[in-house]
Amino acid sequence: MKSLTSFAKRSAQLAAGFVCAIALAAGAPTVAGAQVLTTDNVCGKTADARGITAENLPDIDATNALVMGKDGTVYYGRGADEQVKIASITKVMTAILTVENCKMDEKVTVSNAAATVGNSTAGLLEGDELTVEQALRGLMIPSGNDAAIVLAEYVGKKIDPKTKDAEATFVKAMNERAKKLGCTGTLFENPHGLDFDEWAGDMHSTAHDVALMMQEAMKNDTIREVVASEDSWIEVTGADGTDHSHSMDTHNYLLGQDGNIGGKTGTTDDAGYCFTSAYNRDGDEIYTVILNSTTTDQRFTDTATLVNWYYDHKVTVAIANTQEKTANGNPLMARISQTDWTDKTIDATLADPAAQATVFSLAGEVTEKVSYDDLSGTVHVGDKVGSVTLKQDGTKVAVMDLVADEEGSGPNPIEWLLVKLDRLGRRIDNRPLAAESETVAKAPEV
């Protein structure tokens, strides 16, 4: 019965996600308020400053959003540094501290405070005993506030065995960890993200800070497995010693679709509908953040829009942008002076003639810098003779050696004497003493 129930629930979730994806692909009207803003940030500059037109920008509803690469490059931002509520996305930091301070087979016990926190829960009861891993699943899959309190109390006590308020100790550690990650606009006041009634306060974060947290969380194999898991059950031992199961429904309706490998939702009246997610297509991993969207479906539509916008503007270009060939049929990148002679050059190609670079097409033009080695003596095919560096908007995107694609011998004694005589005349006539190096290839166009 478990498996059938779980299958039915998972099917409903996938269906909801599928509807979002179909609506997006079909160009269905978005929720009122969705908009394209040329004040949005693309790779560090506003779209206006880059000359990016509206048709090349994402049409999303959220007031705060971000797309960040695995290396920390921010490709898109809307209100990315504005301090806002993030609701249950708070639990990403709770998960980070948990895996950093615990072994997954350690046992935790559910307190009265955890069992009675209410709102979104994993169904835990006072006195239940379960492993840290099971509590982590309860935290991240159904967004259990009860699991958040359980872990905060347990980890807080581990951080400071003498503490009289383990949850407060844990929250302090959350804020310290956020600062170490580089989060500059984040303040946590509890481990779950509730921001109303008894939990009302000044807790806040930013889209950029959330992306940093998601990036850090996805470095941990346990968290990666949990947020990607379709296992909707955890096993616990009740206060009476009997074992029982808790069913869990993931709130990530995009899980497994179009490269989605995990995510964390959050929803309160003040925060709106929020979602941070991780995507990986063909090894290119990104993290997206949607804060303060208008509905559950819209936050997922916004996410899909951002993801497709990013991947649609990733383009692959050949580093060897040249029509000329060497005698061996390879791309002719440059003719490099063989300095022992006055009139000879060496044809240079790429160490990998078929090498490509992947760039983001909206990040600006690609520039090329070719450097030449001092070639004296004998040069053999395959010898390094220089290098080529491609940059986009000042950031390196590719560096590769240039190699000789022809043999070149140094002068024999008689030839050396003739070269000396030739150079004497060249000095008198103020002519170059050796052939000038020449770059043939151009920077790739995007």
Tell me how crowded residue 345 is: count the other CB atoms within 10 A of its CB: 20
What gap in Å lies between CA 104 and CA 157, rounded to an integer?
16
Rounded Cα distance, 338 and 379, in Å: 9
**Distance in angstroms (rounded) separating the CA atoms of residues 8 and 247:** 12
Contact status, residue 287 vs residue 275, Cβ threshold 8 Å: no
- The residues, any chain, with a CB within 8 Å of residue 166's CB and separated by 6 or more, are 152, 153, 154, 155, 156, 157, 160
User: Is 143 one of the catalytic residues?
Assistant: yes
Active site residue 88: yes
- Three-state DSSP state, 34: coil
> Considering 111, 143, 387, 437, which one is annotated as catalytic?
143
Sheet containing 366-372: order of strands: 366-372, 384-392, 395-404, 345-350, 334-337, 438-439
Residue showing tokens 């995510």 = 263
* H helix runs in 51-106, sequence order: 91-101
Under a CB-based contact definition with an 8 Å cutoff, are residues 346 and 370 in contact? no
Neighbours of 64 (CB within 10 A): 25
In angstroms, rounded to a whole number, what is the distance separating the alpha carbons of residues 140 and 250?
A: 8
- The catalytic position among 85, 91, 344, 391 is 91
Q: Which two tokens stand for residue 237?
A: 């031992």
Whether 437 is catalytic is no
Residue 141's CB is within 10 A of a number of other CB atoms, namely: 25
264 is in an annotated binding site: yes
* Candidate list 88, 120, 387, 437, residue with the active-site label: 88
Non-local CB neighbours of 29 within 8 Å, separated by 6+ positions: none
Question: Residue 206 and residue 81: Cα distance in Å, rounded?
Answer: 5
Beta-carbon contacts of 391 under 8 Å, excluding residues fewer than 6 positions away, are 366, 367, 369, 397
Exposed/middle/buried for residue 431 (C-beta within 10 Å: 0-12, 13-18, 19+): exposed
Q: Do the beta carbons of residue 389 and residue 356 sit within 8 Å? A: no
* H/E element, 25: helix 2-25
**Residues near 49 by beta carbon (within 8 Å), at least 6 away in sequence:** none
Write out the binding residues. Answer: 264
- Positions marked active-site: 88, 91, 143
Write out the binding residues for substrate. Answer: 264
